[in-house]
Amino acid sequence: MSRQLGIALAATAVVLVFLLADALFVVHQTKQALVLQFGDPVRVVKEPGLAIKLPIIQQVEEYEKRVLDYDAPSVELILGDQRRLVVDAFARYRITDALRFRQSAGSELGFVARLEPILYSALRSVLGRVSLFQLLSADRAALMAAIREEANRQLDRFGVEVVDVRIKRADLPKENSEAIYRRMRAERLREANELRAQGAEVAQRIRARADRERQVLIAEAEQQAEILRGEGDAEALRIFAEAVGRDPEFFAFYRSMRAYRKALADGSTSFVLSPKSEFFRFFDRIGLYPQSKSETPEVSPEAVLPAPAASPAGAPSGVVRQP
């Protein structure tokens, strides 16, 4: 009898230990627990630590309290300026209400399947109202906030809050890239041609201004040169006139000598002149002409210019030849 009682007590203790172990559960600080009874949610335990439930008839499901990541596949969108854009986005979210989350999504995998179309819908709703320039400008942060608010509005029934949305990459569709590249290249070439034309116009203005300045400088220099040349000529004439005034006879003699030198310079010139010509007035003084006026003596340049010499015999009177 005592043996059977001992076995019963031992069995009871084992059952109690099993029931106690099943009734107690630990909630990690990064988790939140949802207590189910026969598959229906009963309560949510968010505080970390030891918690209790009814053994056997109640079960516990755990959900993350930390922020979760979702990397969405690339999707093609049409922007407000009717440009097509391939967007690669990701979202960060956390479960704020485990009860609503289980009632609406069932599980985390089921929620991810519903999150993708909601995120795409928010992207299309916001980006469909803006241009590519706005998306790539400083307004991008405001656009991301608008996408987050739109996604939260649709995800509120799931007990989920989106804390961040980011666009990792935004590319033009492959079929449009070449056309856009050609258009951008044409625009850059047009801008380059405009800059070259503006540069050529500026260069032409600079050259024209430089030519005008050069002409003005040359004209001023020529004017100054003419003034200086005139002043020099006037000074030369003054000095010349002053010299002539001092000794007119010597000046007449000097001019005649210069005329002889110039006239007889090439050595083959012949002159037929009257013996009474003033051109030979100094020849009589050095005895180059005979006393008879009926003959024209022949006088060589060597006899006239370097030193006095006698006239050759037989030369006609009044004729001067150069040998």
* pLDDT tens sequence across 213-239: 999 999 999 999 999 999 999 998 888
Classify residue 160 by burial, with Cβ atoms within 10 Å: 0-12, 13-18, 19+: buried
Mean pLDDT across the chain, nearest whole number?
79
Q: Find residue 295's DSSP bridge partners.
A: none
Instruction: Answer with the residue of higher pLDDT: 57 or 264.
Output: 57
pLDDT in tens, 265-311: 766 667 676 766 666 666 655 554 444 444 444 433 333 333 333 33
Query: For residues 84 and 29, is the Cβ–Cβ distance under 8 A?
Result: no
Q: What is the mean pLDDT of residues 247-251?
A: 80
Identity (one letter) of the amino acid at 44?
A: V
Structure tokens that stand for 51 in this block: 């918690």
Q: How confident is the model at residue 197 (pLDDT cuts 50, 70, 90)?
A: very high
Task: Give me the residues paired with residue 111 across strands.
Answer: none
Residue owning tokens 């041609």 = 193
Structure confidence at residue 282 (pLDDT)? 66
- Sketch the domain layout of the chain as residue ranges: 2-64, 68-176, 215-246, 250-320
High-pLDDT (> 90) share of the chain, % = 24
First to last CA, the chain: 184
Q: Which fold has domain 68-176?
A: Tetrahydropterin Synthase; Chain A (3.30.479)
Alpha carbon of 138 to those of 8, 129, 141, 249: distances in Å? 77, 16, 7, 104
Give me 106's structure tokens.
Answer: 């069932």
The CA angle 132-133-136, to the nearest 5 degrees, is 85
> What CA–CA distance (Å, rounded) separates 220 from 236?
24
pLDDT of residue 299: 38
- The string over 179-195, giving b where at least 16 C-beta atoms fall within 10 Å of a residue's C-beta and e elsewhere, is eeeeeeeeeeeeeeeee
> What is the average pLDDT across 166-189?
81
Each residue of 117-163: pLDDT tens digit?
Answer: 999 999 999 988 888 888 877 778 888 999 999 999 988 889 899 99
pLDDT exceeds 60 at position 320: no
